[in-house]
């Protein structure tokens, strides 16, 4: 390989790395405040909201992949479970299964979820806005 070719290969690699890093930063910054009920309006509905909590109902048919969105601390009540794939903002992908009747607590999270099972997942999410004052 000539010096010129080596230089061009190195420059392409550097430019690709810079573009990838820039894309990741823009993606994670722009989605940090994405409201799940707005970006996923077809699958997530607001059922109740006040100054302390917001209750969401989510129905994800098989094969549905949500848009990236953020939650504050929240509780999930699984009305109808299923298999899912979770895409975290840090790039980590995990798979799991939610069981019908299960109740889970989650810390604040920016992610997208995908129903990889063959049944519709039906969830109630209770997002915690503030701590009760005493």
Residue pLDDT, tens place only, 52-101: 999 999 999 999 999 999 999 999 999 999 999 999 999 999 999 999 99
Domain of 20? 1-31
Verdict on whether the full-model pTM lies above 0.75 = no
Quickly count: other Cβ atoms within 10 Å of residue 6's Cβ: 10
Quickly count: other Cβ atoms within 10 Å of residue 68's Cβ: 20
Q: Are residues 45 and 25 in the same domain?
A: no
The separation between CA 72 and the C-alpha centre of its own chain, rounded to angstroms, equals 12
Q: Does residue 133 lie in a domain region?
A: no
Model confidence band, residue 5 (pLDDT cutoffs 50, 70, 90): confident
Q: Tell me how far apart the alpha carbons of residues 53 and 58 are, in angstroms, rounded to a whole number.
A: 16
Q: Are residues 22 and 65 in the same domain?
A: no
Q: What is the dihedral of CA 70, 75, 79, 81, to 10 degrees?
A: 70
Residue 131 has pLDDT above 70, yes or no: no
- Provide the pairing of β-strand 44-49 with 53-60: antiparallel
Q: Are residues 24 and 43 in the same domain?
A: no
Q: Tell me how far apart the alpha carbons of residues 114 and 65 are, in angstroms, rounded to a whole number.
A: 4
Q: Could you give the number of structural domains in the chain?
A: 2
Helix (H, G, I), strand (E, B) or coil at 42: coil
């Amino acid at each position: 390989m000539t010096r010129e070719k080596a230089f061009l290969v190195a420059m392409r690699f550097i430019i690709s790395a810079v573009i990838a890093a820039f894309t990741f930063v823009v993606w994670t910054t722009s989605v940090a405040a994405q409201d799940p009920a707005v970006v996923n309006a077809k699958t997530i509905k607001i059922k109740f909201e006040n100054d302390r909590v917001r209750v969401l109902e989510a129905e994800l048919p098989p094969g549905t992949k949500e848009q990236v969105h953020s939650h504050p601390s929240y509780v999930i009540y699984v009305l109808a479970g299923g298999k899912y794939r979770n895409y975290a903002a840090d790039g980590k992908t995990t798979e799991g299964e939610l069981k019908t009747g299960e109740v889970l607590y989650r810390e604040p999270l920016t992610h997208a979820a995908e129903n990889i099972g063959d049944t519709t997942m039906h969830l109630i999410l209770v997002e915690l806005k503030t701590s009760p004052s005493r």
